[in-house]
Amino acid sequence: AGISTAAGIPDFRGPKGIWTLEEQAKKKEKKASKRRKLYGRTDADSNVATGGGTTGKPNFSFIDAKPTYTHRALAHLVSHTPPGEEEDGRRFLHYVITQNVDGLHRKTPDLPRSSLSILHGCVLTEKCEVCSREYIRDFEVDSIAEQPTGRYCTLGGTPPGTCGGLLRDTLLDWEGALPEKDWIRAQEECARAELIIALGTSLRIEPCNHLSMYATRGYEKDTVIDRPERDTRVDGAASGGRIPRRKQQLGCVIVNLQQTLFDQSAELVINGRVDDVMRGLMERLGYGVDSWDTASA
């Protein structure tokens, strides 16, 4: 969530994060409650201590939020070769995986859906239960846990427009299973990666946090990929087997303001803001800080 804070969307554990502010509000209320018991103060009197009765949740809009510098930089790295190396066609970044539900990656030009795994769903996306076509809305889908939204598929089917399948939200609840296609692809790409960069995440949410270690030498986690629609696994690995990785494994780089559970296993840890780090990285890679960025013009 840390890559979206510059867009006005709060993270969870940062200084202004949702859970941080809620915990602060709870502590203030607890202190205010003690004062009321000791001195007989009324709820109205305690508003000063509790911040005017605030819940600690900041106001923000998923609709109005725009992709940050980091969103745009990641998309550019996926879609463009470094200047002067167009003939080689190489790219530094091959795939993006997100746990964010804010839809900012989907709003980012140059980042195709085929280069993105969305593991926890998106507040702006509906999906057809028949043909799996996704619809990106300009309003927040007001349901969770893959519930019917009351709308129907108007573009899918053969010929196009004949599907008529029921649309459902894509947001996961705590008990929901990860979307199979995106989860499988995320594991495959991380297993093939030479280097994995974790940006703006505390790496606490299971099982996605372990993806950051897939390029780390000596990492022995078995990666079981259940792919019922196919008989083969990535690179021919058998069901339940370990996915073959690239010979060169450079490990993981973590960029986050706070410490994470995987810091000791990372090759490099940068405790900083992701936009600042990405600006420096884009310059060092030869793209320039913002000469490529049409949004900054």
Tokens of 81: 């070769």
In Å, how far are 36, 89, 255, 262, 267 from 250, measured between CA atoms?
A: 57, 22, 16, 15, 8
Distance of CA 78 to the CA centre of its chain: 16
Cα–Cα distance measured from residue 267 to residue 281, given in angstroms and rounded to the nearest whole number: 16
d(CA 240, CA 224) in angstroms, rounded, equals: 5
Question: 71, 76, 105, 120: which is the annotated catalytic residue?
Answer: 120
Cβ distance 232 to 249 under 8 Å? no
> What radius of gyration, in Å, describes the C-alpha atoms of the chain?
22
Between the two ends of the chain, the Cα-to-Cα distance in Å is: 26
CA atoms within 13 A on the CB side of 121: 22
- Which tokens hold the place of 126? 């509906």
Query: What is the rounded CA–CA span in Å between residue 207 and residue 124?
Result: 24
Half-sphere exposure of 130 (CA within 13 A, CB side): 15
Distance from C-alpha of 11 to C-alpha of 28, rounded to nearest angstrom: 21
Is residue 105 part of the annotated active site? The answer reads no
Q: How many CB atoms lie within 10 A of CB 48?
A: 11
Q: Which residues are catalytic?
A: 120
